[in-house]
Amino acid sequence: MTPFTITNIGVYREQQIFRQRVDSPWICFCASGLIYSRVTLPDGYSMEEPQTPFFCFHIPGSSLDFAFSAHRENWVIMLDTKNLRYEPAKRCVEWREEDGWIALPLLFPVQPEWVPYWQSELRLMQAAQESPVPRNLWRARLGVLNILRFALDGRAESLQETPAAELKRHLDEDERGARSLEEWAAICGYSSDHLRVRFEREYGMAPLAYRNQRRMAKAMQLVASSRLTVQEIAAQLGFRHQSHFSAAFRDSFHCTPSEGVRRFRHP
């Protein structure tokens, strides 16, 4: 789990009109009472926030212009972390997990029927944060990760497939690795170098690394859950030599495919 600290979880209920500059990253849940909201991001781009319930990320360097009515319920989770950043090229925020950055929407709506759940969850997180024994602090951190999961699951994808997404789809379909990156780039209508850069920007890893990891994930699935022999698995995944498959499997899982069969496959 990528390290981060919650510095405060609070709820604001008073009617208020204010302007504020963001100095630390925080997550906001606006449940009710918003009259208007304008956010100016660090690169100068401005956007209006809706009056319907929503979560949003606020990034250091942004400025906020809000007005709330007497029906305000506005939750704020303040974080101490270097793992959340604004990505101006994609108008999104990115969360660092291990060695990669995961894109998340700046703002994601909450359906009205889910508002009571999030109100209850935020109250539990606030109570846990206010009683800071290790168990409670862990519970509050898990609550933040739950919000990040909600943002990730609800991320709106573009109606038009991006070049990187097209390449990813081809790599997903090419389970045997029958075509090279150069061949897929030509099919997508781009040079391999250009497409590699776009893929890394969108998915946080090189396309060949993605294909290799996906191939090995499929290999482990077949080793653990199928009745195929190691030779049959290697052939299904497009390895011409079983020794090459065994070496790639060992690099990924620190055991040979035969050892994996004995360890993970149930009779």
User: What pLDDT score was predicted for residue 155?
Assistant: 53
CA 21 vs CA 18, 45, 48, 105, 132: distances in Å: 10, 15, 16, 20, 28
Q: What is the pLDDT of residue 160?
A: 54
**CA angle 202–206–207, rounded 5-degree value:** 90
Q: What is the pLDDT of residues 8-37, one digit of tens each?
A: 999 999 988 888 888 999 999 999 999 999
Q: What percent of the chain has pLDDT above 70?
A: 96
Q: Using 50, 70 and 90 to split pLDDT, how confident is the model at 2?
A: low
CA distance 103 to 128: 28
pLDDT digits (tens, 9 = 90+) for 212-229: 999 999 999 999 999 999
pLDDT in tens, 72-83: 999 999 999 999
pLDDT of residue 159: 40
Whether 174 has a pLDDT exceeding 80, the answer reads yes
DSSP 155: P
Query: Of 27-31, 64-68, 138-142, 186-190, which range is least confident?
Result: 186-190
